[in-house]
A and B are shown apart, each in its own frame.
Chain A
């Protein structure tokens, strides 16, 4: 079964750093990009960026570029999303998903279960 399993919920203070993870299994991890999506409380989905596990090439949304960092450890089939200095506005659920290309169209399937990040003083 193809699946992505994310790390557990986090509660952090403003200014702290954080790295959350997303582990793929059931497929060849380096053959598919990993995309990250943010969902603010009670709101819609926002694409943050994606990373190619084969060479760690990244593609960020301008809205998130410079605020987060995507990385990969392909030896353990794991993608990471990290912040060096969290803000209260980063409170959200973060999803990873396999970014697969069928023909010329990319879609996200499957998704991880989500990681809740709460940033509060």
Chain B
């Protein structure tokens, strides 16, 4: 199985901050990488697909980058509704696998 490792596991930030989360794959996955946001008590929601494509309806402050083994999710200016847990997920080969999650908390 491809292992996905996110860092950090959690971070504290303030509204307006620029936040970057990284995701590393245990082998090259080209751009077969998606990002999801999950708020407490809710289902995950797709933010970014194919590493850098913004899902329809997702604010433009979210952006994704990277290829191969190293990827990033950036929130350019953190908003109150962005405090949540973020997961990367590879779809290069089954079993599809997720990172362990990064919790973005209020500083």
Contacts and interface: CB of A to CB of B under 8 A. Distances in A.
Interface stretch (B10-18, B20-28, B45-53, B72-80): B45-53
A24 interface: no
Given A104-B32, A105-B49, A105-B91, A111 B98 contact: no
Interface residues of B, number: 26
Contacts of B44: 37, 45, 95, 97, 108, 111
A35 interface: yes
B53 to A, nearest CB: 8
Contacts of A114: 43
Interface of B: 1, 31-34, 36, 38, 43-46, 49-50, 53, 55, 87, 89, 91, 94-101
Interface of A: 35, 37, 44-47, 49, 59, 61-63, 95, 97, 102-114
Contact of A113 (B43, B50, B89): B43
